[in-house]
Structure 1
Amino acid sequence: MTIMYQEQGTPPSGLYVEREVLAAPSSNGVLRDLANAHLDKWGLNGLADDALLVISELVSNAIAAAPGTPIGFRMMRWPTMLVIEVRDSSTGRVVCREADALDESGRGMWIVDQIARHWGQRPEGDGTKTVYALLDLP
């Protein structure tokens, strides 16, 4: 089954968080902490491990793709799913591949693919791209 995701606007107040940070290694922890606090507030502690892993992978890719530039983070709680989005200034497409056993990197999007209901990417009108993942709510 193919699930198409198109931005539907913002969810009801309080079920949405958005930040822009500089693409630097420390930004990953900052965004994970922010997300964890909101997941707790939204009663989604049972989804936190998976969501934080997805966030870590998407943010790590954005940092690697466009270091030192702004990256955007958005997380939204919809009635049946959690939407995680990371925007960066790179125009390069994100590729999902299964890394070889001795590879030191390259597993991130494969991990996201295993956890998420669906993931994808879309070009934005300002030349940036957004990579998103949809996680089913428990």
Structure 2
Amino acid sequence: MSITVTPHLNFRGQAREALEFYRTVFGGQLFIVTNDDAHSTERPEEAAQVKFGQVTAENGFSIMAYDVPASRDYDQGVNSLFVSVRTPSAEETTALWNKLVEGSTVIEAFGPSFFSPAYGMLRDAFGVVWVLDVAVEYTG
């Protein structure tokens, strides 16, 4: 048996836009169920918002998203989570960084670090903090 962990991001009306953007970066299939689709619309202006959304790619990337309805508290917080993307090569990490950085605020400049040949941290246009690096084998 194996376990898969998929980040599930919460938004307030931006889930579709975020998922569409992540699909342009990582590829894969986009699946969205709106509040109307799920027959769970609380307010007419939230009918087209995302009740369940996911991007899944053949390369193993998977992320989920949801629009928190106005009837529920929502506070994205500061540094509430980081989404970490690790690849086997600097070339692959660099290619993803170059796409994801568009419209983002760089927190840690992309480049070599003491623990990885390629590393960077950014906050995207949707407020999500991403950490990208090359996975290296640690020895103790």
User: Shared fold (TM-score greater than 0.5)?
Assistant: no
Instruction: Quickly name the TM-score band, shorter chain normalised.
Output: under 0.3
Give the structure with the higher percent helix: 1
Q: Which has the larger radius of gyration?
A: 2
Which structure shows the higher strand fraction? 2
Give the TM-score taking structure 2 as reference length. Answer: 0.28
User: Highest relative contact order (Cα 8 Å, sep 6+), 1 or 2?
Assistant: 1
Length-normalised TM-score, structure 1:
0.28
